[in-house]
């Protein structure tokens, strides 16, 4: 060891070893997802069935920057209901093809999360930053690679950036920090994070003002600047919320009301596992490390009769913050609590204010960093123990097949195909949207922007391919359209109670439903349907302007539904067959 310490390359390696796993992973991810290209396996839920199709639709219609126009789905909804163009993530789709933009978004999210974390840690650690640099970068990397909800990955990843800006403003108010904070919403999202960041900031202003015995003017200014930034960057959303008098589906959405025991189990579940839009898999490494440290550190305080340190320890405060977010998440489903909060805080009415849980991945990683820094301070043995812990935290994120882990899914499915000589039953990106097949269909039927609907597939497939749809997926649109579309699907959902509740109590997925199965919409090559009968009101379909119906199932009652089969179309690799019907009253 003494001989090694004489070599500069070894000393450099001990300081910068973290560069190898970080750069290696980013190169691997880019190589796999760009190498396989659209033959990669990309998550469907709230991704390919939603935002990717919306971005492609905005490109197809040239409406990214337009105002006062409708986009061709859900019978024609305002462009303002779709993602703002004043977003760095959205701008990727303006510049690049949709798949390329998506992969670039995944890669940039990693860098944004990592460097945001590094900036915050550097601010908090001061001159000792260089000592802790390896674990700071690795924890930032662990945070950056968490497979968040892709469309809002930037918003999750940039939380440390916002905290850093606010601390910088508090410590040294300067115009450049306020300007940066005003621009911060370019990488954030008001509904998921912004409203809660502003709420947390109000609490911080009150606490700091009491602690410092003077008004925290710099933070009040930050509050106003940040709020203005959100209004500017998401002007379309605020215009719809504040200037439109249209009654939306939010007015009829029914939130669950759980018993106290059910709420208790829900709180424990999200404390342990988080939620699928932000699966940080903290229960595998970070939580056990935090639990052991919590017991040892606080036991030490009690043993030394230093109970006051328990309250002041930043690690314990982070644990309380995490628990608070879990409690809010669970209590949201307690109707009296939800009503009380919405009464005293009217801006939260209609918002899912349990989304405070989205901040927990950041808090868990920040708690881990604090532990690792303290281990670094104890000596060489605990220093390398800290390095091993953070490497373990990184590995479990990479190797856990969470919903949005496209890298793992693609590698797994491609290896399966190579090893077994046959592909898995899931669609890859190219097969899911089947652009070549739909171009052929549109050409053969002479498609000219007539309204259509999908059956057995997500309407997003049609929207991606430039077909106007009566159906679709959107969490905010007119209540009247929900009721009009319900007339079409009434014969189906009145036969299946689960489907009726799903549509009536939520209604974001405006789909054609089966009258037998709870769902016939399939993201796999195999369609699992027990009935080839279509249950819908053909007259209501016609009244909304419906002309075509694209189905993965051949109907046995097409004539009764006033539909004529125009053709059966199959993709070249036989992964998808589509039956195209035209309404013939």
Spatial separation of the C-alpha atoms in residues 573 and 557, rounded to whole Å: 29
Spatial separation of the C-alpha atoms in residues 481 and 249, rounded to whole Å: 9
Among 402, 426, 460, give the residue marking a domain's end: 402
Is the pTM here over 0.85, yes or no?
yes
Name the pLDDT band for 212 (thresholds 50, 70, 90).
very high
pLDDT at 9: 67
Residue 47 domain flag:
no
Are 394 and 480 members of one domain? no
- Percent of residues in the chain assigned helix, strand, coil, to nearest 5: 65, 10, 30
Q: Mind listing the pLDDT tens digit for each residue in 165-202?
A: 999 999 999 999 999 999 999 999 999 999 999 999 99
Spatial separation of the C-alpha atoms in residues 119 and 137, rounded to whole Å: 10
Number of domains in the chain: 2
Q: Mind listing the pLDDT tens digit for each residue in 351-402?
A: 788 899 999 999 999 999 999 999 999 988 999 999 999 999 999 999 999 9
> Is there a contact between 471 and 453 (Cβ–Cβ < 8 Å)?
yes
Are 451 and 562 members of one domain? yes
Residue 193 domain flag:
no
Closest CA to 111 of 158, 150, 149, 164: 158
Instruction: Please provide residue 402's backbone torsions phi and psi, each rounded to the nearest 5 degrees.
Output: -75, 170
Average pLDDT of the residues in 416-420: 96
> Is there a contact between 123 and 168 (Cβ–Cβ < 8 Å)?
yes
Name the pLDDT band for 519 (thresholds 50, 70, 90).
confident
Closest CA to 114 of 154, 88, 135, 143: 143
Are 385 and 444 members of one domain? no
Spatial separation of the C-alpha atoms in residues 472 and 428, rounded to whole Å: 21
Spatial separation of the C-alpha atoms in residues 202 and 222, rounded to whole Å: 10
Spatial separation of the C-alpha atoms in residues 532 and 495, rounded to whole Å: 15
Are 276 and 375 members of one domain? yes
Residue 41, burial from CB neighbour count under 10 angstroms (0-12, 13-18, 19+): buried
When the pLDDT of each residue in the chain is averaged and rounded to a whole number, the result is 94
Residue 147 domain flag:
no
Residue 339 domain flag:
yes
> Is there a contact between 200 and 325 (Cβ–Cβ < 8 Å)?
no
Average pLDDT of the residues in 221-245: 94
Name the pLDDT band for 347 (thresholds 50, 70, 90).
low
Are 272 and 376 members of one domain? yes
Tell me what percent of the residues of the chain surpass a pLDDT of 90. Answer: 87
At a CB cut-off of 8 Å and minimum separation 6, what does 486 contact?
A: 493, 503, 504
Name the pLDDT band for 3 (thresholds 50, 70, 90).
low
Residue 69 domain flag:
no
Are 477 and 369 members of one domain? no
Spatial separation of the C-alpha atoms in residues 356 and 198, rounded to whole Å: 12
> Is there a contact between 452 and 547 (Cβ–Cβ < 8 Å)?
yes
Q: Check pLDDT > 60 for residue 102.
A: yes
Are 332 and 397 members of one domain? yes
Q: Mind listing the pLDDT tens digit for each residue in 260-315?
A: 899 999 999 999 999 888 999 999 999 999 999 999 999 999 999 898 899 999 99
At a CB cut-off of 8 Å and minimum separation 6, what does 427 contact?
A: 41, 44, 523, 524, 525, 575, 576
Residue 427 domain flag:
no
At a CB cut-off of 8 Å and minimum separation 6, what does 423 contact?
A: 413, 416, 417, 575
Residue-wise over 499-532: b if at least 16 C-beta within 10 A, else e? bbebbeeebbbbbbbbbebebbbbbebebebeee
Q: Mind listing the pLDDT tens digit for each residue in 533-583?
A: 999 999 999 999 999 999 999 999 999 999 999 999 999 999 999 999 999
Are 389 and 441 members of one domain? no
> Is there a contact between 221 and 188 (Cβ–Cβ < 8 Å)?
no
Are 466 and 388 members of one domain? no
Residue 53 domain flag:
no
Owning domain of residue 309:
252-402
Residue 459 domain flag:
yes
Closest CA to 33 of 134, 150, 137: 150
DSSP 8-state symbol, 407: H
Are 383 and 257 members of one domain? yes
Q: How far is CA 550 from CA 248, 452, 576, in A?
A: 28, 7, 12
Are 392 and 501 members of one domain? no
Are 325 and 395 members of one domain? yes
Q: Check pLDDT > 90 for residue 487.
A: yes
Name the pLDDT band for 350 (thresholds 50, 70, 90).
low
Q: How far is CA 428 from CA 37, 51, 461, 561, in A?
A: 10, 17, 13, 33
């Amino acid at each position: 060891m003494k001989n090694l310490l004489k070599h500069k390359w070894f000393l450099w390696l001990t300081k910068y070893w973290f560069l190898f796993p970080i750069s290696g992973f980013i190169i691997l991810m880019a190589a796999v997802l760009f190498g396989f290209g659209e033959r990669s396996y990309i998550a469907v839920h709230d991704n390919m069935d939603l935002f990717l199709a919306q971005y492609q639709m905005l490109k197809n219609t040239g409406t990214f920057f337009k105002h006062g126009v409708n986009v061709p789905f859900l019978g024609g909804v305002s462009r303002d209901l779709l993602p703002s163009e004043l977003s760095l993530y959205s701008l990727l789709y303006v510049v690049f093809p949709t798949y390329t933009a998506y992969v670039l978004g995944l890669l940039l999210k990693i860098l944004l999360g990592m460097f945001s974390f590094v900036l915050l840690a550097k601010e908090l650690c001061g001159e000792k930053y260089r000592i802790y640099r390896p674990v700071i970068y690795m924890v930032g990397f662990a945070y950056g690679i968490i497979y968040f909800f892709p469309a809002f990955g930037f918003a999750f990843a940039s939380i440390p950036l916002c905290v850093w800006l606010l601390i910088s403003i508090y410590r040294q108010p300067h115009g450049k920090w306020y300007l940066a904070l005003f621009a911060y919403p370019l990488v954030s999202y008001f509904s998921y994070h912004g409203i809660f960041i502003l709420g947390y900031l109000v609490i911080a202003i009150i606490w700091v003002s009491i602690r410092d015995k003077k008004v925290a003017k710099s933070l009040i200014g930050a509050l106003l600047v940040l709020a203005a930034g959100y209004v500017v960057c998401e002007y379309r959303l605020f215009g719809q919320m504040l200037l439109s008098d249209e009654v939306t589906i939010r007015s009829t959405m029914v939130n669950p009301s759980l018993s106290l025991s059910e709420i208790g189990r829900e709180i424990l579940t999200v404390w342990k596992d988080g939620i699928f839009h932000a699966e940080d898999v903290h229960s595998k490494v970070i939580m056990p490390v935090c639990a052991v440290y919590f017991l040892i550190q606080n036991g030490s305080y009690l043993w030394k009769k230093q109970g006051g340190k328990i309250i002041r320890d930043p690690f314990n405060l982070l644990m309380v913050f995490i628990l608070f977010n879990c409690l809010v998440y669970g209590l949201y489903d307690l109707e009296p609590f939800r009503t009380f909060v919405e009464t005293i805080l009217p801006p939260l009415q209609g918002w899912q204010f349990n989304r405070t849980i989205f901040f927990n991945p950041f808090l868990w990683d920040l708690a881990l960093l604090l532990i690792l820094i303290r281990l670094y301070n104890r000596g060489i043995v605990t220093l390398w123990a800290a390095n091993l812990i953070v490497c373990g935290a990184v590995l479990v994120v990479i190797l856990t097949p969470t919903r949005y882990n496209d890298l793992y899914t693609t590698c797994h499915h491609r290896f399966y195909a190579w090893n077994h000589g046959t592909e898995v039953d899931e669609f890859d990106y190219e097969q899911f949207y089947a652009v070549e097949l739909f171009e052929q269909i549109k050409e053969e039927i002479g498609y000219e922007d007539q309204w259509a609907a999908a059956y057995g597939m997500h309407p997003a497939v049609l929207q991606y391919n430039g077909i106007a749809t009566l159906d679709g997926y959107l969490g905010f649109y007119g209540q009247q359209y929900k009721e009009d579309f319900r007339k079409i699907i009434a014969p189906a959902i009145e036969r299946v109670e689960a489907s009726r509740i799903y549509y009536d109590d939520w209604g974001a997925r405006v789909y054609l439903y089966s009258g037998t199965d709870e769902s016939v919409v399939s993201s796999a090559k195999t369609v699992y349907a027990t009935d080839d009968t279509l249950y819908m009101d053909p007259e209501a379909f016609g009244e909304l302007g419906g002309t075509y119906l694209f189905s993965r199932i051949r109907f046995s009652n097409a004539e009764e539904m006033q539909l004529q089969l125009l053709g059966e179309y199959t993709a070249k690799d036989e992964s998808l067959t589509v039956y195209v019907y035209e309404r013939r009253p």
